[in-house]
Structures are given as C-alpha cells and as structure tokens.
Structure 1
Amino acid sequence: MTKVWRKGLPFSTEVAPLLAAMPLLEEYREPLMRLQGAWDSLSLLGQMSGAATDMADTRSAFEALTGRLLDSLARRQFDNAVQQLQGRSQVAIDILVRNLFERTADVGFLAADGPLRAILAADRDRADHAADHAADHAAVPASDPIADRAAVQQRLADYVAKYSVYDQVALLAADGRSLVALHPERCADRVHDPRLLRALDPGQPFVEVHGPSPLLGGASGLIYAAAVTADNGARGVLCLSFKLEDEMLGLFRALCAGVPRSVLVLKDAEGRVLLTSDPWQIPLGAPLAAADRAQGFCIDFAGRDYLACSATASGYEGYFGPGWSAQMLQPLQHAFADAPPPRTEARARGVDTRELFDEELRSIPLEARRIQRELSRSLWNGKLKSRSRDGHLGAAGSVASGNADFAVTLLNEVERTGEQLRQVFERAIHQLEESALGAVFDTVGFQSELAISIVNRNLYERANDCRWWAQDARLQQALARGDVAAATEVLSSIHALYTVYSLLLVFDAQGRVLAVSDPAQSHHLGRSVQGDWVHGALALRDSSQYVVSAHEPCGLYGDNGASPCLVYATAVPHPDSSTAPVGGIAIVFDGQPQFRAMLRAALPSQPGSAALLVTRSGEIVASSDAHWAVGQSFPLPLPQLATLPPDQVVTGELALQGRVQAYGLAMSGGYREYRRHMPPHPQDLAALVLLPLGPRQDDSSDAQKSAAFQPLPPSGRQVLDLASFQVDHQWLGLSAPQVLAAVGRQRITAWPQAPAAVRGMLGFEGRMLPVLDLGQLLFHRPGGDDAALLVCATREGQRLVLAVQQLGQVFQSGAEQLQPSPTRPGWAAQARVHLLKGKGAEMLTLLDCDDLWRLVSGIPAPSSADDQPLLAAD
C-alpha cells in the first residue's frame, strides 16, 4: 500500500488528505509522539547502563508500530464513514425504485378501466358526429352520453383514496385535450407535452416523465403515462402523478437521522439535484459531481469540502427506474468529528471480536505486547548486569552503590515509558473495538428498521391492489354474469403487470373459486376456499376495507398448497351498486421469494449476517437464507417481541450456533395509511437482523489473574536481591545471583526421554540446557508457547532454563520480611518453605535453583536442614 508522510508519520494515500478532520487521530498521535521523544533523553542516559542498543531497537520498533496504529485508526474511521454514507445512499435509491416499479404496474392497470375507456370512446363519437354534421351546421350534443364527468372524477378519487401516493390522475385525448382529471383546476385544457404523448407509440407499455407539466398547473412532478384504447378504436393517454417529493423527503429524514449535518439528494442522469434534504446546503437544480474511491470520496461544493457517496439503482424485477441516483454528503469537518457514544458497555463483553478487524489491526496489540516483552527481558538483564558489575548481587547486608542505583532507576524509567506506550496502543485499540462494536449494533438496528420499512411498503401495495382490482368494472360484470372466460382474461392481464403474486383468483358469494390468473392452477376452479379471510371479505360493504389472512397454509401456495402464505382479499361490488357483493377477489402473495429478496436487500455487508421476518410469537415468516425454515419458531426467546411497540427498534446480543450474535429487532408500524396506529396484534411482523460477532471467550484466565507484586522496602541490615516472575498467575522468585539472563523466544529441541516437566533442550553460550516448565512441575498446568525463558545456575554451576508465565521485577527486600510456610503437596516435602509479604495482599514464594535441579534430576536433598536452600511452596 502506497504511503505518504504527514506529521512525521507514514499514512495511506486515501486518508492522508483527511487527517486534519480527524480529532481522534490527534488524541492518540500527541501522547505517542511525546513518549517517543522521551526515548531521546533516555538513550543518552542509557549509555551508562549498557542498555543503549536494546533501547534503540525498542524505540525503532515502537516508532514503526505508532505509524501502523495511527494509519489503521485513520483508515478505520474513513471506512466507517464511507460505509455509512454509501449504505444509506443505496437504500434511498433502491427503495424509490421499488416504489416506482409499482407505479408502472398501476398505470397499466388503470389504463384498462372501463369508465375511462368509455369517456374516450364518447369523445371519439362526439368528434365523428360533429364532423358528419359540420356541413349542415347541426348541433353537437353538449352532454356526455356515457356518464356524468363528476361521477368519473369521484371514481378516480376512490382509486386515489386507496393509493395516497398520487396527487393527480388525468385522461388525455390523443391530441392532448384533457377529458377528465382528478383535479381539473390544476390541469390545463390542452396538455402540450410530447413526452407524455409518447405513450401512444407502438410497443410502449408506459413512459415516465419528470419536470414541470401543464398536467400539474406548471408545477414539477413525476408522471407515469400509458396508452388507453377504447372499444371504438379511440386512443388516449392516462397519466398518474406520483408524490415524489412527499415520498422522498420522508425517506430522507429517516436516513439522515444519526448522521450529523448530512445531506441526502436525488440526482437525475445529468447529475442535477432533483430533491434535497437540505436546500440551504445543496440547493435544487445544482450540478453535483459524483465521488468515488479514486477521489477519496471527497468533493468541493460551494467552497465547502464534503465526504460524499453515490449509488445507482440495484434494480427490482428487471426495472431500474428513470436512471437517477442518490448521493449522501457530510461536511468533512463533521464526518469524523463526533466520537460515537459508549453504547457497548453491557454488550459483547467477553466476546472474541477479532473477526471484525482486518489482520493488520488485529496484529497491532500483539506486536505492542511482543515489543514490551522484549523490552522487559532486556531491562531484566540490564538490572542484573548493573548490580553484578558493582559486586552487589547476593551481598547481604551491603549497601547498593550509586552507579547501580542510578542504572536501575534509569532502566525502571525506560520500562515505565515502554509500558506507557503499550497502554496507549491498547487504549487506542480498545476504543477502536468499542467504536466497531457500536457501529455493529447501529448497523443491525438500522438494517432491521430498513427491512421492516421495505416490507411495510410492499404490503401497503398488496392491501391497495386487491381493493383497486375489486373496482374493475370488467371483473364486476364477469362475476355478475358468471362469465369465467372474461374473469380469467381480466385476472391474467392484471397478473402480467403485477409479477409479485403467486395467484389471483375470484370467488362467488358462497366462496367457490370462479376464475384464476394462472392456467397452471386451474385445478382450484370450483373448490370452496376456506378461512376467516373468505368470510371476512364477503362481509365487507365498504370499498376502502380489506382483510388479510394469518401467515399459514391455505391450500393455495407452494407444493400441494401446503406452504404458509399471506392472502389479501376484499369484496367485489355488484355492478349495479346493490348492497350485496357479487363475490370476492383474493391475491396470494408470492412471499417466499419476495420476502427473501426484501430481507437480502436489507442485509449488512458483513459475511454470515442473516435477516428474518417473524411474528410476535416468534414464528418465522421469511428468512434471507434456507437455514431458517419458514413456519418454525425462532430457537431462542426474544422477550421484546411480545411487547415491542410499533415502529420501535431494539438491539442486543444472543448466543446462537456457538457464536455471539448482535441483533436488531424492528417492529412493523405500517406505512402511510396501511396499519398505522393499530394496537398490537399476534400477527404483527418484525424484522430481525443477525450479525455474528465471534465466539464467547473463556474468561477464567482473567479471573485468576493476580495483582502485580509490590515489594516492601528493606528496613533491616540484611538485604536480599531477588528476581520475580509469575507462574500460573502466582508470584514466585529466585535469588538474583542464580539468574544469569532472560533470553528471547527460541527453538526448543525435543528430548524424548525427559521427565514430564522438561520441555526439551535449549542452546545457550554453546551448551545445551534442559528447559523446565515450572507450571507443569509445580501446578501440573503447563505454560503456553509464549512463556518467558530464564537461564539459571545452581551453586555448583549446573545450568537450566525455566519457562515462566511472565517476568516481574528485580528488587531488594529485607531478610526480616521472610516468613516460614508449611510444605504444600506436590512440592519437595523435605524443603524448607519461605514466603515474602508485599505491600498488598499478594505473597511471593521464594524458590531455589538448587532445589529445582534436585527435583528434576532426582538427586536427594542434603540431610542437614541448615544446608537446604530457601524454597517456598505455593
């Protein structure tokens, strides 16, 4: 990856120009650089301690790691911000295109409406009559021979009452004359708009036109138009004006929530702004450049820098909309300025979240610990050498020389500086983890809300469709006459426009199926459909009402009709407007693929994520993959399901399939007039989005960790020099003269016939030495592969290597602080045991290299207790 230098450190090219907008980066850069600077002073003093080379290596390693950490911090912030803007831009354009797809079907259906075709035919007849009598100046009838226009306008109003997404419906003659309009006061008498009249071109199923139109009194709108053909051959154009601004501004508000100072815009194919969530920042009509990764997703607009992401439509049922795009922008000064609130305090504790981070980011804390471990080993050796040079080690009752004390003080300061660096690294990584987890819970909450929003919008269309189609005069007349062929033709033509259904059917007043839309399912003809929804539909007397079945098998969906589904139904009025309906219409939603597509559209980008649609009882209605069987119950209880209010979203975590999963749960609250402000119902739907975090960590080792041993200062004349270390989370020590060096991690050669506690052989200064695992020997729990290695020597000169958990301090202690202790099981029963008390509750157990050598070699202990070395038991 190409790097450029900024502020004395290397950064990736895509984030280097953005550093000034990242205050979090400066929060960590300043202390890291300050601590790095401390090495300069320590290096000068280090010449006196003999550790100068080790310090230089450590300084270089920490400096390189600082560059990696800050670059990773910057890239993580950048990626999070871009992902947020990109995802919401994609949601905006895809929801719009799904919505507009329904409009293309609506205009095709309404273009076949009988009363509208009758008006078109009457206009043709009047024109012909006028031409025939033009020569003798005969009068042309002034009134419509078909129906009062007010009645037709009322019919259009009834349609729009069921579909509140329209603000104008108009029928135009082929020459652009307005024949009837829902709002005639807004529509010109003659609409001169060639774009709309293109709907009359052969093979043109519909046209979509955006911009100012005489149809809307000169106002701008998005209009869908389709050709209408009357029985006498007259042709006209039906126009539906969609409430684009009403739909998009509400969507913009929802998507901009939680993204400070953001702006969401809709752009045409030329990049001009059609709609904007904030006209004070990005005005209508402004030409707005797109931004991509090559530009760092940054653009300059009106003298202000923005982070910006664009998205084009993914497409729905083969439809991609008018060629528009959505773009979300956030002022650069705010894109990285607001630190996420701490929302994961009670969540994802004890979870291995390494899978959320890239390999480089995961390696940084490990590398910091490795550097610190090497530094600790170097300083250990430095402290031993400093005292050895002054003849101080092992000299009980002597006073430390000034040089030794100075060297040890200096090395302690070096160690403290290294520890501070390591802590800054770990704090930064921890904040990254918190930020990443916060982003995960935000993501599952947002995606679940998105999923239920898509579902609500889709089911809104289903509830409206059945009520629209029940008003079709052709269908009403076919049912009244019992004309199966005519009813089948109408249903088939409708089904060809609306491809999201498995089956459309009509049934008579006794519930018997009279016609179906799919010839392959003609076996349903004549059967009596059962269910509460059938009786409920036939009992309706209000054309604005409908019924919907429970999500259960009804014999109309899937193999042998055994799959659960949703059926929307309503009564079909009698054509003479009598009170008794002539039958009912039912539409079987093709839920399995349709719901699956909706849920997949709302899936987070992270691998392993899943989305489900569930009822309040936990029954699975749909899922994004086949792992979750439709009709079964979710395997874990979700207490919020039963009581979660409509339109509410909750997030949390659960253990599933051996992994901790973050989840977002969003309860349906309806859309527009569809199921709004309704009391909770068992069949309410909720979207559940799951995202795997990782396995639960075994925190038993953390619970066993003991506090650092803090020695008491010596108060008597007898002084012991001790070297401490930890084994199995317990503090142990040796007399410092017995410790020759701490060595770095090296390859241990196997020793097949060695005792169980001996790991193998290690080369040191030209000799092969046995490696004794103190964890295995003393506690029967072997240490890990990252054990620290100490080279020790007995009083007779035998050498061995001890594998310990981690290094502690090299310090002085008074002999009067030693306390005898009884021998513990598993240790040398004949050894005299001593404990050393510290400042806190921790006790340090003193070992002796001679005693350890005897335990390994099997040499018997001396018979005289006075000759026994100090050996303490845990």
Structure 2
Amino acid sequence: MLDNLPQMTKFIPKIRQYDDDLEKQNLWWTVVAMVGKVNNQDMDGQLLESITETQAQFEKLRANLIENMVQRYLDKVSVSLKLKSQAFINTLNRNLFERTADVGFLAIDDDIVGFLEAEDFSKEKLFHLQERLTSYVLKYSVYDDVAILSPTGKVLVREDKEIAPIQSHNDIWSKVVTHDGYIEYDKPLDIFPKQSLPLSYLQRICNRQGKVVGILCLSFKFVDELTQLSDTLSHSAESEPSSENFLLCDQAKNIMFAKHSTEMGKSLPALKSNQLEIVSFSGRQYFAYVTEAEGYQGFKGLPWQSVVLHPLDVAFKSDAAEHHFELNETSALFPHDLNELNLEINTALLIVVLNGKIISLKNKVKAFLPVLDSFQEIGEQIRQIFATSIEHIYQVTHQTLAAEVSFLAKLAMDIMDRNLYERANDCRWWSVNPNFRRLLSLEEPLTHQQRNELTDVLKAINELYTVYENIIIFDKNADVVAMSDSKNQKMLGSNIGHLSGVKAALKLQTPIDYRVSAFEKTPLYQNKPTYIYYASIAKPISSRYENVGGVGVVFNAEPEFKAILEDFLPKDVNGQSIPGAFAAFVDDHAQVISITENPMNFEVGSHLQLGFNLSALRSDNGTFEVEINHINYLVGYQLSQGYREYKITDSYENKVIALIFSQS
C-alpha cells in the first residue's frame, strides 16, 4: 500500500500538513542555496557542496518520515480491522460449537425418545412435549424453534405454535437418518419458513436399541446473533458506532449477511485472507480484512469468511475522544530511529553553518553570513517540524495500542459472558430431566442401581459438555447422590449445604431461576476456585413448585478462562506476541480470577496492586496507565456486560473486569 503514498496521504490531513511544511523548507533551502552560490563566487566550493549533500539527506529523511507516518496510520487501521474481523468469525464459531453439543444431548432426551417410541400422538402427549420444547427455548434463547420429525420428514411436534405441522419435502432427511452425529445446515428448510438466513442443527434420534425413531431440528437465531455481534464490535470504547460494515460470506465471496443490509446478496471481488487490502465495492473504495475461522476445540464449522470493510475516505479521520498521551522518550513506543535521523540532519546542518561562518570570516566574505543565518533558521524550522511529527507518530502508535488493548479486553469479557451464559442454560435444562425429578421425588432412599442410573446420565452429559470438571445431583438435604467425576467419588453422600449457592438453589421457586456460587475454592473442584451453577429439581407432578434437590455444574475454570485470555493477548502488526504483555480477569477488588503468564508472577487469588480502586473507572470500557514493579503498562479494561438475558434481566450480579496489559 505504501507504493501509492499520494493516495494514502490525501486521506490523512495531518500528514499532508507536515509534508507541505517540509516542502516549504526544502524550497526555501534551494532558494537560499542558489542566492548564496550566485552572490558569493569566491566562497569555498566544498562548503556549497556540503549544503547540497545535506539537503539530499534531508529529502531522504523527509521521505522516510512521511512513509513512517503513513505506515503508522495503516497499522492503526490494520490492527483494528484484523481484530474485528477475527472476532466476528471466531466468536460466532464458539457460539456454534455450543450448538453442536445442544443438539447431541437433546437427541437423547428421555421424553423425546419415549414420545417417538410410543407413537402416541394424542393431543395430551403432543401438548406435554410442546411445553417441554417451549421450556427449552426459554432457557436456550439462541433458538427460535425446535421441531421433531418422523424419520421420513413429517413434523410431529414443534415449539412454534404458529406454524402448522407439515410433511417436509427437503432432500436432507435421508442423509440425516443415516448420519452418525449432527449436521450443521445452512440451506432453507420448508419446516422453518420464518428463517430469513437459514442455519439449523439436525440429528437423528435413536432408541436404546439403535433404531432411528425420529429427527431433531434446532432453528438458530442466525440473523439475530450476527446483528448483535456486529453491533457489539462496531462500538469502540468512547465513541459512536463506526462506519465499518461487517459481512459474512461464503467461499465464493457471496454476501450472506451484512450489517448494512443494502449489501445483502451482492458478491465481493477476490480478496486474500489475513491481510489489509483496498477494494472497490458498490462505487466506493474500502479497506478490507478477510478472516476464516481458526477453529475451537476442533470445531471449524461451515466454510464461511468474515469481512470487515471500512471506507477509505473516513478511515483516517481523527476521533475527538482519543486520549493525548504524555510524550515519553524512554518508551518502547517512541520512534527512536526517526529521532536519531532528525538529530543527524540538524547536526550536519549545524556543522555546515559553523564551518561556513569560520570560512566566511577567514576569507572575509561577510556577504555569505546572512545566507548561513538563513540556513540556521531553516534548520530550526525543520527541527521543530520533525519534533512535532515524531510526537504525532508517538501519539498514533500509542493510540493504536490503546485501541487494541481496550478492544481485546472487550472481546475477552464478551467471550467470558457468552461462555457463562451457556452454563446458566445448562444447569436449568438438566434440572428438569424427567428421570432426575422422578428419582429424587421417591420417599425411600435411592438404591445403588438408581444412583448408577443418575450417574450414567451425568457422565453422558459431561462427555458432550467438556467445559465441566464435574456435574452433581444433590437431594433436598443437600446430600450428593450422583456425580459425573469418577475421580472425586469421595464426595458421594457428603453434605454440601455449607457450600456457596447450594442453600439458595434449594429455595428456588421456578425452573427459570438459577444460582451461582462465589468464585472460591471448593472440594468439588480439587479445592481450586471456580464458579458452580445451580438449579433446583422439582417434583414432576405437584400443585406447587416443590424442590426435591438440585443440579450443580462445576465449571472447569482454570483452563477455560486462561484459554480465553491467551486468545486475546496483544500482538504486533506482524501477528507476533508482544513481550511482557499479559491478561487477567479480576473482580472489582482487583482479586485475580484468572491470569496468563506475567513478569510479576501474579496468580489466581492474588490482588493486583494498581494504585487505585477499580470501582473508580468512569466507563465500562477504556484504558488506563499504571506502573507495576517499575514497568509502565497501558491497560485495556472491560466490565462485564452480560449476554442476552444473562446478567441483564435474570437478576444475577457478579462484577468481573477483563484487563489486558501491554508495556508502554
């Protein structure tokens, strides 16, 4: 892109200003040199030659400076678009990974399998199953419909009561019934006529003997998710939504989704992945960045690409909200190379002036002294312009890093909220498992066989949902009756009523509510700190909601949180990790929930010594500067905002802050 500097500089007024100022000094230099040469024929030719050589050095430095400034601005755009493009596809991919577990588990649901095996499609049975599907969608709000089909594609029951059951004529069903596992399907299905952008999760349903008895279909809120995600990513720390457009494209670059819907259905020109490019599209020039999904725990999903477009004519407009950083010449962000070249030019010019004055006085050519004074003034003007330009480069570099760390903090926190939203859904759905409710409602103590029955279900769940270290069931007295973790069987039969969240869970009065433990050490997680999500188990048939126990899902916090943070460590423009950078999740007292490798060896449970109270932060997202162990850091932060109803409308409060540290 630097091959066409004029095209770039015309969009960056600040660079044009510096270049014009330097050009004026260059022209004045030429004029003064010519005047000096014409009017001082007796002057030493070597001195005049030195003036010309120094001017040539200045012109090289000027070109170097302008190129460097343009590159810093391009880096700023590149870092921003790269982060947003990667976040758009990879956050979506993480979400869809969760859907693959959902469809797999719901396909072995006892109520659904029993309904299909019995082939009793009476109004009473259909109503009961439809209510169960409605309960599922209320908890897993990423779906707008769930349908259960016969093996031949006839809709038997669905969650959406507004759509009449039909005999589907799609060809996919013959593939589903012979396929082992889920199918992620992004083509239209006649059973989901409301889907504006189709994405469904399909899996055959088998009975215990392995016979295919039906098909499960989950309709994902695809447009809703893409809109919410692009809205989140297009808001920066302290400014209005940007003019960037977020696109999801198929392999042929056909636009499946566009934040600005006028682009829907169009095709992009061929673009390379993972690099900043300029593209002409719909009569306008854009910076473009294309990313393919990196994959998450082996899941890559369908072959889509995310594209972020930013109009060239507004890409470099300064943001009035951008912070002005105090100049620090010892900072690693300071352009020492340019500063040294500036000193070199000024020193060379000063030597020329001093030599000239000595020669003029020695040869009694006083007429040349005003020329030398003019060169001295030119040198001072150049020095000031370069000093201002170098400070501007420093500001742009600092602002680029500030935008990066604040945005990375935003992404890390968003992924954490999305991850834990799923945990709240899981515990509530599993708590209404018919077998759990039936067995815990028995008056007599559970037999060994009944406990094994519960344990087998928990183990099957845990094999699909690998983010859990353990899943437990406890009775109304808070005694553990079953657990998935075979390594921690000593907890079986023990009372956990003293653990955070358990008593509160046993007091819940609806299947929608849940409780979460404090982030603290627990015997259910090898005495390490984690969150445990709880939901109550109620009697299957009762005139009122009567608790008979609960489900607890023990989140595998140590590797899961650390993996999130490591994904969002800052990188340089070449994609290399920045030395000394680290990331952390902390509570509002700066106590560490999770942290990556760091120079201070902070660990989970440590208190970060920031020198101020995090509750004093004036916004939800931004940056601050701090010195730790004599190292200056620029820190991006993001307060937890929740996701969908999680932490927003469900009454759960837990103040968590993502922090991204980069040396400055």
Shift in Å, 1:12: 4.0
Shift of the 107–629 alpha-carbon distance from structure 1 to 2, 3 Å rule, reads same
The equivalent residue for 1:381 is 355
Contact conserved, 2:156 with 2:165, CA < 8 A, in 1? Answer: no
The equivalent residue for 2:248 is 266
CA distance in 1, matches of 2:649, 2:622: 19
* 1:98 paired to 2:94: yes
Shift of the 150–293 alpha-carbon distance from structure 1 to 2, 3 Å rule, reads closer
Spell out the pairing of 1:621-640 with structure 2 (5 A cutoff): 621-625=593-597, 627-639=601-613
Shift of the 60–294 alpha-carbon distance from structure 1 to 2, 3 Å rule, reads farther
> 3-state DSSP class of the match of 2:34?
helix
CA distance in 2, matches of 1:294, 1:229: 43
Contact conserved, 1:478 with 1:486, CA < 8 A, in 2? Answer: no
Q: 442, 463, 471: which one pairs with 1:496?
A: 463
The equivalent residue for 2:341 is 367
Spell out the pairing of 1:27-426 with structure 2 (5 A cutoff): 27-47=17-37, 48=40, 49-50=43-44, 51-123=47-119, 143=122, 147-186=124-163, 188-203=165-180, 205-217=181-193, 219-220=195-196, 221-230=198-207, 233-258=211-236, 260-280=242-262, 283-292=263-272, 297-336=277-316, 338-341=317-320, 343-345=322-324, 347-350=325-328, 352-353=330-331, 355-356=332-333, 361-390=335-364, 404=366, 406-426=367-387
Shift in Å, 1:149: 1.6
The equivalent residue for 2:658 is 687
Letter of the 1:120 counterpart: L
The equivalent residue for 2:535 is 570
CA distance in 2, matches of 1:196, 1:595: 39
The equivalent residue for 1:580 is 546
The equivalent residue for 1:604 is 570
Shift of the 264–678 alpha-carbon distance from structure 1 to 2, 3 Å rule, reads same
Spell out the pairing of 1:419-438 with structure 2 (5 A cutoff): 419-438=380-399
Contact conserved, 2:405 with 2:660, CA < 8 A, in 1? Answer: yes
> 3-state DSSP class of the match of 2:253?
coil
Of 626-635 and 575-584, deviating more is 575-584
CA distance in 2, matches of 1:625, 1:200: 47
Contact conserved, 1:210 with 1:223, CA < 8 A, in 2? Answer: yes
Letter of the 2:190 counterpart: P
Contact conserved, 1:188 with 1:214, CA < 8 A, in 2? Answer: no
CA distance in 1, matches of 2:321, 2:93: 36
CA distance in 2, matches of 1:522, 1:197: 43
CA distance in 1, matches of 2:92, 2:652: 28
Shift in Å, 1:309: 0.3
> 3-state DSSP class of the match of 1:386?
helix
Shift of the 628–198 alpha-carbon distance from structure 1 to 2, 3 Å rule, reads farther
Letter of the 2:21 counterpart: P
Letter of the 2:322 counterpart: R
TM-score scaled to structure 2, two decimals?
Answer: 0.91
CA distance in 2, matches of 1:427, 1:632: 42
Shift in Å, 1:364: 1.7
Aligned length: 636
CA distance in 1, matches of 2:99, 2:651: 30
Shift in Å, 1:381: 2.5
CA distance in 1, matches of 2:536, 2:179: 36
Q: Which has the higher helix share?
A: 2
Of 29-38 and 544-553, deviating more is 29-38
Higher relative contact order (CA 8 A, sep 6+): 2
Cα deviations by residue, 1:688-708 (Å, 9 ceiling, x for unpaired): 111110xxxxxxxxxxxxxxx
Contact conserved, 1:445 with 1:664, CA < 8 A, in 2? Answer: yes
Contact conserved, 1:187 with 1:215, CA < 8 A, in 2? Answer: no
Shift of the 188–334 alpha-carbon distance from structure 1 to 2, 3 Å rule, reads farther
Spell out the pairing of 1:497-646 with structure 2 (5 A cutoff): 497-529=464-496, 530-557=498-525, 561-577=526-542, 579-606=545-572, 607=578, 608-625=580-597, 627-639=601-613, 641-642=614-615
> 3-state DSSP class of the match of 2:199?
strand
Letter of the 2:353 counterpart: L
Shift in Å, 1:677: 5.8
Shift of the 449–39 alpha-carbon distance from structure 1 to 2, 3 Å rule, reads same
Cα deviations by residue, 1:582-610 (Å, 9 ceiling, x for unpaired): 21111110001100111122222141221
Contact conserved, 2:80 with 2:403, CA < 8 A, in 1? Answer: no
Shift in Å, 1:195: 2.6
Cα deviations by residue, 1:815-848 (Å, 9 ceiling, x for unpaired): xxxxxxxxxxxxxxxxxxxxxxxxxxxxxxxxxx
Shift of the 348–614 alpha-carbon distance from structure 1 to 2, 3 Å rule, reads farther
Cα deviations by residue, 1:302-330 (Å, 9 ceiling, x for unpaired): 33221100111121111112221111011
Q: Which has the higher strand share?
A: 1
Shift of the 620–378 alpha-carbon distance from structure 1 to 2, 3 Å rule, reads same
Shift in Å, 1:297: 0.7
Contact conserved, 1:513 with 1:528, CA < 8 A, in 2? Answer: yes
CA distance in 1, matches of 2:22, 2:545: 82
CA distance in 1, matches of 2:128, 2:287: 54
Contact conserved, 1:308 with 1:328, CA < 8 A, in 2? Answer: yes
Contact conserved, 1:290 with 1:309, CA < 8 A, in 2? Answer: no
Shift in Å, 1:182: 0.6
Shift of the 74–644 alpha-carbon distance from structure 1 to 2, 3 Å rule, reads closer
Contact conserved, 1:97 with 1:320, CA < 8 A, in 2? Answer: yes
Identity of aligned residues (%): 30
Contact conserved, 2:82 with 2:274, CA < 8 A, in 1? Answer: no
Shift in Å, 1:202: 4.0
* 1:672 paired to 2:654: no
Cα deviations by residue, 1:51-97 (Å, 9 ceiling, x for unpaired): 31221121011011111111112222222212211110000111101
Q: 406, 412, 416: which one pairs with 1:445?
A: 406
Contact conserved, 1:614 with 1:687, CA < 8 A, in 2? Answer: yes
The equivalent residue for 1:474 is 435
The equivalent residue for 2:624 is 652
Shift in Å, 1:19: 4.3
Shift in Å, 1:410: 1.2
Of 523-532 and 609-618, deviating more is 523-532
Spell out the pairing of 1:768-847 with structure 2 (5 A cutoff): none
Letter of the 2:606 counterpart: Q
> 3-state DSSP class of the match of 2:501?
helix
CA distance in 2, matches of 1:322, 1:187: 30
CA distance in 1, matches of 2:166, 2:65: 69
Letter of the 2:378 counterpart: T
Root-mean-square deviation (CA), in Å?
Answer: 2.4
Structure with bigger gyration radius: 1
Contact conserved, 1:549 with 1:566, CA < 8 A, in 2? Answer: yes
CA distance in 2, matches of 1:351, 1:570: 56
Contact conserved, 1:348 with 1:653, CA < 8 A, in 2? Answer: no
Shift of the 248–227 alpha-carbon distance from structure 1 to 2, 3 Å rule, reads same
> 3-state DSSP class of the match of 2:172?
helix
Contact conserved, 1:187 with 1:216, CA < 8 A, in 2? Answer: no
Shift in Å, 1:548: 0.5
